[in-house]
Structure 1
């Protein structure tokens, strides 16, 4: 019986793959009315959104054969779309980057890709769009956890009661671990309340991370201005650390911000939060300001970080 059930699931996934690839035009000659294949566009996209990767970095990220990737990069180099520079850490490696010509080629293709997806979504109501987005996150979380982790991790949109959980866990953990006072809990409660009272789902979102069905992490992306988003309330429970959950939450914010049309993400944190700072730095954020304060009791250094999208 189990084998029959698995065969049914395989057939269902194959049907969905055929349906979705047809809808978004992946099988068309000249993807997005361009001379590039899907793989070539993925390579261009990664080069645009990574800070000086090596060819081996790209190969690992995309799961590409080194020889195949080398041929793609060689073609791009001959067309003047990419440039190489020596790695300061390892002279045997070259770092890759799009040239101005490469960016000029990619930008209209990214615009076409976003518009093609927007056309699909315009036929759905706002609740249907939210259900679809959560379904995608569910699929990603389940397959990622099956392929890479023993425990099942999942990112999902917030539900009733989740923001209350966020306030409670922030207060408990930061008092216990850092001795912060109740002014911090009041700040978290204010942020949560403002979000619930009137967030714009097209430009603002809150994610909850689950580990084996239990909430263990959170993050929020809110509008600061038309062009700037603010990342807030990143949290990962101590028992859930080491599963890459914090990085996945931040990456989800970055993806959402790009799709929503922001050009920058900003955040405020404190120097004592070493693990969070490491996550931000790995994601490409840069420290732009640091100032001492006593807002939550102990003296600490508040920091502003930014990421250009």
Structure 2
């Protein structure tokens, strides 16, 4: 990953993000065709309404090829929400996820958020392990039927100042 760049998300990245999420999760986890439209809706809202002073998205690239994304959006005055954290399978296991997470969390802290929250599924084992290693706390876990699958939905939180970030 010598020519790696983490740059700000642009609206022109939207279709790629939607396609990557929809295709990957259909293949890897059997998600139905309701997942892609959810991702598209999240990005349409971000593109139309985000406040660039306190909300941001990033795209990881290598040699001009997009490899992954992460977003920081406002949940409320004190809490940022991490969204759409994704790495293409070939880009995993090389520390890129940790770099994207550090970029997102560093931004959230720098603009004054006191904590962060995210929602994921237990089946995303590598991401969940990264959250745990980084000081996030699992605060809720429950079985659900979403995107045509039986899943275990999780909510994780991170409080700035209560953990030492690496």
Indicate how the Cα distance of structure 1 residues 208 and 167 shifts in structure 2: closer, same or farther if over 3 A, else same.
same
SS in structure 1 of the partner of residue 38 of structure 2 = helix
Please report the TM-score for the alignment, with normalisation by the length of structure 1. Answer: 0.51
CA contact (8 A) 1:206 1:221 kept: yes
CA positional deviation for 1:210? 0.5
Determine which structure has the larger helix proportion and give its number. 1
SS in 1 for 2:47: helix
Residue segments in structure 1 that go unaligned for 5+ positions in a row: 1-148
Q: Does 1:271 align with 2:118?
A: no
Aligned twin of 2:148: 297
* Gapped regions of structure 2 (runs ≥ 5): 161-166
Are residue 261 (structure 1) and residue 112 (structure 2) matched? Answer: yes
The CA distance in 2 between the partners of 1:290 and 1:237, in whole Å, is 25
Distance in 1 (CA, whole Å) between partners of 2:119 and 2:14 is 19
Q: Which portions of structure 1, spanning 4 or more consecutive aligned residues, are displaced by more than 4 angstroms?
A: none
* 1:262 counterpart SS class: coil
- Counterparts of residues 187-202 of structure 1 (less than 5 Å): 187-202=38-53
Instruction: Return the alpha-carbon distance in structure 2 between the equivalents of residues 248 and 241 of structure 1.
Output: 12
1:252 aligns with 2:97: no
Give how far 1:301 is off: 0.4
C-alpha contact 1:211 1:240 (8 A) present in aligned 2: no
Superposition pairs for residues 87-236 of structure 1, below 5 Å?
149=1, 151-236=2-87
Pairwise CA distance, 1:208: 0.1
Deviations 1:224-258 (A, max 9, x none): 00000000000001111122111111111110011
In structure 2, C-alpha distance between the alignment counterparts of 1:198 and 1:250, rounded to whole Å: 23
Q: Distance in 1 between matches of 2:39 and 2:10?
A: 17
Question: What RMSD in Å do the two structures reach over aligned CA positions?
Answer: 1.0
Q: From the CA coordinates, give the structure whose radius of gyration is larger.
A: 1
Q: How far apart, in 1, do the equivalents of 2:86 and 2:21 lie? A: 7
Q: CA deviation at 1:159?
A: 2.1
Residue by residue, what CA displacement relative to the aligned partner does 1:279-303 show, whole Å, maximum 9, x if unpaired?
Answer: 2112211100011111111101000
Give the secondary-structure state (helix, strand or coil) at the position aligned to 2:100.
Answer: helix
